[in-house]
Structure 1
Amino acid sequence: MEERKHSAYVFDSYRVDAEERQLLRGGEHVHLTPKEFETLLVLVRNCGRVLTKDELLKEIWPDTFVEEANLANNISVLREALGGGGKDNPYIRTVARRGYRFVAPVSELPAGDDAVGGNGAGAAETLIEKHTLTSVVIEQEEQEAEPVGAETARLLLPAAKTRRARLIEVLRKRRVLVALAAVAALLIGVGGGLLWGRRLWLKSPPAFQQLTFRRGLVASARFTPDAQTIIYSALWEGRPSALFTTRPESPESRALGLDDALLLSISRQGEMAVLLKAQVSFSTSGTLARMPLEGGAPREVLQNVSDADWSPDGRELAVVHWVEGVCRLEYPIGHVLYSLGAPGWLSHVRVSPRGDQVAFLEHPVERFDDRGAVALVDLGGRKQTLSRTYVSVNGLNWSPGGDELWYTAAGGDLGNSLYAIDLGGRERELASAAGRLSLYDVSRDGRALVAREDGRIGMIARAPGADVEREMSWLDGSFLRAVSADGGMLLFDEENSGGGADAEVYIRQTDGSPAVRLGDGHALALSPDGRWALARQRFTTPPRLVLFPTGAGEARQLPGGAVTYSESAAWFPDAQRLLLIGHEPERTARCYLYDLATNQARPVTPEGVVGHVVSPDGKFVVAADREDKAPPALYPLDGGEPQALRGVESGDFVIGFGDDGRSLYVAQTGIPARVYRVEPATGRRELWREVSPADTTGLLFLTPPRVTPDGRAYAYTYFRLLSDLYLVDGLK
């Protein structure tokens, strides 16, 4: 495809700056990803010409196979950026069964020319010739598709003759030059084609060498300073996390003798940063410790840490540190460069090779959702978001030269690929594979340690009258939210690849019949009569609550007012009111009573006191104070002092009331999850059931079971993640 030596292209109020790789509208920057901008640039450079989908795919992704859906998505984004209108957009037109065409007149500005129309007659002549050629091409194609009437032809004839005479004059003067240029171009093209073909022939895809072979989860991995030995953390065959060492030339691994620990980073001087007693789950945390690579006891440094990385000289650590619900990036420890309050969180902190910047991943939503973007902060606390927001982003490291950041992310589904982005925000794909990749480390010679993951969120239920539990998952991300009072219906959402970018709400009968999709969002609670499902659409701004009918009917959006509600809710027994957890701007979370008849909400607990269980008479809510971490208590909705619940302990998750209206089901999370039945009047507490899948390998999390009041049915969610570690070579 022809390459023109111009640095900017102008049409209407838009300017496409090829050198700065940006689109401006009236002087204002319009955000586009690198591939979206490349798509626009190719279209503008070939304005008036129909570009086939194959041409565009080869031009925009020259060395990578991608689906046509990627191109269609870029076109859709560009149309929105250029004023919307879909297929009726005034700039980009779809040519049926062929491709796309940029139809607006475009002026090309030579390098160094900042004026919209150029500076002088030469630029003006270029503009006139370009517009004339564009008009001729467009008119010729449209006339081939639609015959023009005699009257229309008579009206268009003078202008057409003028353009034709101008074009003939230009071509006559340049005929000899064009002939010579054609011969030269042919010779250059043949030689260049041979060289390019040789280049493509010589370039091979990255090579993946499998390093681990046992069944379980590889949770982290790092190269040692010699870049030949690899230390990694793994949870094999359902056991706690432990440290192992291996080398590429051997399929065997050797245990280092440090159990219940998770590797975070290895300094150039050979010192490890590890998490002790790490709870490996959706968001890992533990006690940071440092220890020599050659052995010795770990020395504890800091509690409530989820990630850490060494400075280039090995003296300091950058950490992700949780303090009173706020996620803080500290470098060095104690010096806050950036912080993010709930529900957002930070991960994968990485200090630059020069020690002057810290990269990290920023996740704006709940800790069990890794949607987010690549970000950078300097030592003065100035933060910059480099990338677009991905449906999933995990794994981050500096490139060998320190001029790029390498990371694993997914733009559409959750099949994360390996990407690179420079400090100017220009993105490119390094490698992809079937499944989900997670980047752990990059060596000085450009090799990468990557895990290929197979994750699944599923549901297990025991239906009324059944003797055994049954797998009730629908797609690959079935997250249980509620069980109907009779145990016959499950409310859940699909949060993994099957649920798409925004998740989907479903119901399913416990007899195993097919699931029924209700709509977009994350499910929260099922009405007592089973007729309505409450859901929250977390990716709207602000997040919104929606009621979906489980049968015939229309969905209903609930106004939120000044309160932002979280993903925890319960119905009152009358099915006319909701118990919600939310917060007003700059205030602490509390419980609200939401009246569905008036769409009005009022607070019913003090700030900082939250809960999700309503008493059978609708007069009390079981809630706990987040600050003092006391056991849950019974709070009257009409005011007054809370009543202690004897037998309920700190850390208990209150599931709900029993069918006698007095006893409570509570759970202690873990693997297995333990469910107790408590009698608050007497303080009696007895184990009711332990629940867990029979196969615990790769299990990271079990939700507290949802139990029917009569105890005849229950269901719960599990999260299983299995992975293998690979050494990837040939990344460019």
Structure 2
Amino acid sequence: MSQDVQRNRLTPSNPQTGSEAYEFGPIAIDAARHRVTRDGRALALPPKTYELLLILVRSDGRALSRHDLMSALWPDTFVEEANLSFQVSTLRKTLGEGAEAWIETVPKLGYRFTPTVRTEPAAVAAATGALPPSPRPPADDRGEDAVQMLVPSRRAARRRLALAVVVLAALGAAVLVWRLAIGRRSAPEGPLVGTAATPLTAYIGTEGSPSFSPDGAQVAFHWNGPQQDNVDVYVKTVGGGEPVRLTSDPEREVAPAWSPDGSRLAFLKVQADQTATDVMVMPALGGTVRRIASVVTFTSAGVLESAGGLLAWSPDSRWIAVGGTIGSEPGIWLIASDGSTRRRLTTDGSLPEWGPAFTSDGRRLAFIRESLISQSGVFVVPLDTEMRPTGPPVKVVEAAPRRVLALAWEPGDRGLVYSVSSHMASSQLRRMRLDAKGAPVPSSGEALLVGDQGTGLDITASGRMVYARRFRDTGFWRLDLTQPGAGFDDSGLPASTLDEHTPDYSPDGSKLAFTSTRSGSEEIWISQADGSHARQMTSMGGPLCSNPRWSPDGRAVVFDSTSRGVRHLYRLDVGTAEVRQLTTGSVRHHQARWSRDGRSIYFGAYSDEGPHSPVEIRRMPADGGPSVRITPGSVAEPSHDGRWLFVARSDDDQTTLWRLRLPDGQPELLRRGIVHESSFAVGRQSVFVVEQGGRPASMIISEIDIATGQRREVAALSKRRWWGLALSPDERYLIVPAINEAGSDLMMVEPVR
């Protein structure tokens, strides 16, 4: 298809069709006046969102690809998919009830506008008060099967382009004058991070944690390889060429960092038992590898592959900074590059700290400090010439209720670029400017025009930036237990191109409650059991909102959320969508399950406020109130006859399933090695669990007989596990969440001069 044909497939507006008007459901659009109403009430749509709406209503119900939509909305401009996702989310929220069904997500493709649209000429609409149709353009005589839209003339397009150039020039001049005016008072200026990203790698699998060579001509990174079977350190030349593999041990080798003198690479090697991580140093071009320290990091082995900037060299290449625990002392540590000595740089110790980054002169160190699950901020500690703190760490970025994933200093140390994300949701790159004293410049926090789904990043002194752009699509797979050997089916279940997890059937089996990030943050959704009519039930705003569970009467759903800081339990009234908080205080609560009579709720609670405090099962009244301790564990669900309580625990890097006889029996071990605390479902005669298969991307579904404790394998699924497991009330179906596709590529951004 030619570029001209592609560009002409979609367009939001046209001088000849500006008199159109449209109507679908309670929504009316008067294109002549750029007016959108719902039941007569005006809706405020941003310009780009309005253009998207016009494209959709003129699409005749055809499925539109993301590429075509982005080409129509941002012609001749590179944008990332998050921009389109944001516009779709904004449009759905503004249109209100029904919009999720009207704008249907087509997995692996894009979107389809489903309602029947009535159109009338604007003159008729004005006279009758009705809303109008436009004449459709003739079909493309070249046989294109795309949506046909009228396109502005080339002359009009050139006029708009010329006007845009003039406006941009004026804005550029204004910015230049402003910079000159404040130049004497601000931090040193340098090149600006650019606004266009191009792929540096596009390999199958996961490439992450990029680090530039000092001259910016090469990038070190980790990759799980062409067969996705081993994570190793690679180096690639910017601009072309194949990657060079530098390590090959079977253990995961991640997070490389290039020394400022260009002679060495440091990286992390996850020990085989995953209890600790070794800090390794090797020549930059390959050679003998030396272990200089072992540290217990604050991130899991899997997170190590997606995070960035876990190691940082001091500017003189003498020290390597890393976050974690050495001995029994947590914090940011400095380790001599030859391994001869080490010392703790931060001594707070009560909260996880990681992701260090030195300024170019070594007089400041930025790092990430976790506060609660998926919540963190960025701190900066001042240093003397001997790399010793001269004052306490100062918070410069408050990301809560979101989490910082990685950070890097801008050229000239005038600010920080960092990746931020809600729990399980999309991430983006943001910038925070700092003044000469290191304090945040008011109102300087802003999102970059690049960096959709960005995680690990690095920036050279010249302003060249590289970042890892992740992607992940998770969903539900259904197993019919009455059809042995039939396998799994993913049709007829809630689906999107983002994350879905922790499903639960309603008591009558007609509906599903589940968690999804399709609105931009984790929220609770409800659909029919066949996946139709999905609607968003909560607007907690992240960062964590998950684990929905139906009450036995089907009128309420209990879930947990960190929207108010601490993770607490909430009750959703399904009929009214009213949300009420059930637990309070500074102790975290999660993973609630109802008693079979609906009078009580079992849940996991941390025994104190510390980040590593034990978790115990507690029970409280269904409407909230004082709770009582039952047993150690994270998740608990009673048997159908109320005689047993099944409890999942996470101990010693494995998850186990236990049972105890109610009301006060002793726990008995049922099964070791289930994949997650939420990955079990209790039936009338048996308990179903998800276990790890023989390969990383595989799961085994097992059934454990409640009476005898005997286990049998039910089915296997060649997918990576995700969170939760749901059993239909008639015990015919199991819904297994899984990762359908995931990985990350490296993106390059050239500086603006």
| TM-score normalised by length of structure 1 | 0.61
Offset at 1:584?
5.2
Mapping of residues 40-59 of structure 1, within 5 Å: none
Residues 429 and 531 of structure 1, relative CA distance in 2, 3 Å threshold: closer
1:268·1:314 contact (CA, 8 Å) conserved in 2?
Answer: yes
Secondary structure, counterpart of 1:459 in structure 2: strand
Residue in 2 that maps onto 1:567: 590
Residues 462 and 326 of structure 1, relative CA distance in 2, 3 Å threshold: farther
1:242·1:255 contact (CA, 8 Å) conserved in 2?
Answer: yes
Greater RCO between the two (CA within 8 Å, min separation 6)?
2
Offset at 1:565?
3.7
Residues 479 and 338 of structure 1, relative CA distance in 2, 3 Å threshold: farther
**Residue-by-residue CA offset, 1:388-436 (whole Å, 9 max, x unaligned):** 4264543311233334323244799946234242222023658413833
CA distance in 1, matches of 2:752, 2:271: 32
Residues 457 and 346 of structure 1, relative CA distance in 2, 3 Å threshold: farther
Amino acid corresponding to residue 449 of structure 2 in structure 1: S
1:463·1:487 contact (CA, 8 Å) conserved in 2?
Answer: no
Mapping of residues 692-707 of structure 1, within 5 Å: 692-693=718-719, 702-703=722-723, 705-707=725-727
Q: 1:264 aligns with which of 248, 256, 278?
A: 256
**Residue-by-residue CA offset, 1:657-687 (whole Å, 9 max, x unaligned):** 6545355535238521223233476564333
Residues 267 and 597 of structure 1, relative CA distance in 2, 3 Å threshold: closer
Residue in 1 that maps onto 2:626: 600
Residues 728 and 204 of structure 1, relative CA distance in 2, 3 Å threshold: closer
2:649·2:677 contact (CA, 8 Å) conserved in 1?
Answer: no
Offset at 1:505?
0.9
Mapping of residues 81-230 of structure 1, within 5 Å: 196=173, 206=195, 208-230=197-219
Q: 1:446 aligns with which of 445, 452, 463?
A: 463
2:658·2:669 contact (CA, 8 Å) conserved in 1?
Answer: yes
Mapping of residues 659-674 of structure 1, within 5 Å: 659-663=683-687, 665-668=689-692, 670-674=696-700
Residues 357 and 687 of structure 1, relative CA distance in 2, 3 Å threshold: farther
Residue in 2 that maps onto 1:362: 369
Residue in 2 that maps onto 1:249: 239
Q: 1:639 aligns with which of 652, 659, 664?
A: 664
1:211·1:251 contact (CA, 8 Å) conserved in 2?
Answer: no
**Residue-by-residue CA offset, 1:27-64 (whole Å, 9 max, x unaligned):** xxxxxxxxxxxxxxxxxxxxxxxxxx99xxxxxxxxxx
- Mean alpha-carbon deviation: is it higher for 525-534 or for 454-463? 454-463
Mapping of residues 183-582 of structure 1, within 5 Å: 196=173, 206=195, 208-236=197-225, 239=228, 240-258=230-248, 260-269=252-261, 270-277=263-270, 286-300=277-291, 301-305=293-297, 306=299, 307-321=310-324, 328-332=331-335, 335=344, 337-338=346-347, 345-366=352-373, 369=374, 371-378=375-382, 379-380=388-389, 382-389=392-399, 391=402, 393-409=404-420, 414=426, 416-422=428-434, 423-426=438-441, 427=444, 431-433=448-450, 435-462=452-479, 467=486, 468-470=488-490, 472-484=493-505, 488-495=510-517, 498-501=518-521, 503-521=522-540, 522-524=545-547, 525-550=549-574, 552-553=575-576, 555=578, 557-562=580-585, 564-582=587-605
CA distance in 2, matches of 1:256, 1:346: 29
Offset at 1:493?
1.9
Offset at 1:593?
0.5
- Count of aligned residue pairs for this structure pair: 524
Amino acid corresponding to residue 499 of structure 1 in structure 2: S
Secondary structure, counterpart of 2:466 in structure 1: strand
CA distance in 2, matches of 1:601, 1:516: 32
Residue in 1 that maps onto 2:89: none
Residues 213 and 393 of structure 1, relative CA distance in 2, 3 Å threshold: same
CA distance in 2, matches of 1:310, 1:513: 52
Secondary structure, counterpart of 1:578 in structure 2: strand
Offset at 1:273?
2.2
Offset at 1:470?
0.8
CA distance in 2, matches of 1:354, 1:567: 45
1:311·1:355 contact (CA, 8 Å) conserved in 2?
Answer: yes
Residues 677 and 654 of structure 1, relative CA distance in 2, 3 Å threshold: farther
Q: Percent identity?
A: 18
**Residue-by-residue CA offset, 1:55-113 (whole Å, 9 max, x unaligned):** xxxxxxxxxx9x9xx9xxxxxxxxxxxxxxxxxxxxxxxxxxxxxxxxxxxxxxxxxxx
Residue in 2 that maps onto 1:153: none
Amino acid corresponding to residue 546 of structure 2 in structure 1: A
Offset at 1:506?
0.5
1:327·1:340 contact (CA, 8 Å) conserved in 2?
Answer: yes
CA distance in 2, matches of 1:554, 1:420: 37
CA distance in 2, matches of 1:689, 1:721: 23
Structure 1: runs of 5 or more not aligned = 1-52, 55-64, 71-191, 694-698
CA distance in 1, matches of 2:660, 2:253: 40
1:304·1:322 contact (CA, 8 Å) conserved in 2?
Answer: yes
2:193·2:749 contact (CA, 8 Å) conserved in 1?
Answer: no
Offset at 1:729?
2.0
Secondary structure, counterpart of 1:618 in structure 2: coil
CA distance in 2, matches of 1:442, 1:394: 15
Residues 706 and 265 of structure 1, relative CA distance in 2, 3 Å threshold: farther
Structure 2: runs of 5 or more not aligned = 1-45, 48-78, 87-168, 178-190, 300-309, 336-341, 383-387
Amino acid corresponding to residue 718 of structure 1 in structure 2: I
2:495·2:531 contact (CA, 8 Å) conserved in 1?
Answer: no
2:205·2:225 contact (CA, 8 Å) conserved in 1?
Answer: yes
CA distance in 1, matches of 2:258, 2:644: 52
Offset at 1:720?
4.2
**Residue-by-residue CA offset, 1:317-349 (whole Å, 9 max, x unaligned):** 2222268999743334562615576xx754422
Secondary structure, counterpart of 1:401 in structure 2: helix
Amino acid corresponding to residue 549 of structure 1 in structure 2: D
Residues 490 and 339 of structure 1, relative CA distance in 2, 3 Å threshold: farther
CA distance in 2, matches of 1:325, 1:548: 42
Larger Rg: 1
Residue in 1 that maps onto 2:12: none
Secondary structure, counterpart of 1:386 in structure 2: strand
**Residue-by-residue CA offset, 1:233-282 (whole Å, 9 max, x unaligned):** 22355603233222123243333353642133122343222232489xxx
CA distance in 2, matches of 1:649, 1:388: 37
Offset at 1:511?
1.5
CA distance in 2, matches of 1:324, 1:547: 43
2:568·2:584 contact (CA, 8 Å) conserved in 1?
Answer: no
Residue in 2 that maps onto 1:101: none
Residues 338 and 416 of structure 1, relative CA distance in 2, 3 Å threshold: farther
Residue in 1 that maps onto 2:183: none
Offset at 1:704?
5.4
Residues 555 and 311 of structure 1, relative CA distance in 2, 3 Å threshold: same
Q: 1:613 aligns with which of 625, 637, 643?
A: 637
Amino acid corresponding to residue 531 of structure 2 in structure 1: G
CA distance in 1, matches of 2:353, 2:520: 23
**Residue-by-residue CA offset, 1:13-39 (whole Å, 9 max, x unaligned):** xxxxxxxxxxxxxxxxxxxxxxxxxxx
Offset at 1:515?
0.7
1:458·1:717 contact (CA, 8 Å) conserved in 2?
Answer: yes
CA distance in 2, matches of 1:704, 1:515: 19
Secondary structure, counterpart of 2:411 in structure 1: coil
CA-atom RMSD in angstroms? 4.3
CA distance in 2, matches of 1:363, 1:220: 19
Offset at 1:386?
0.5
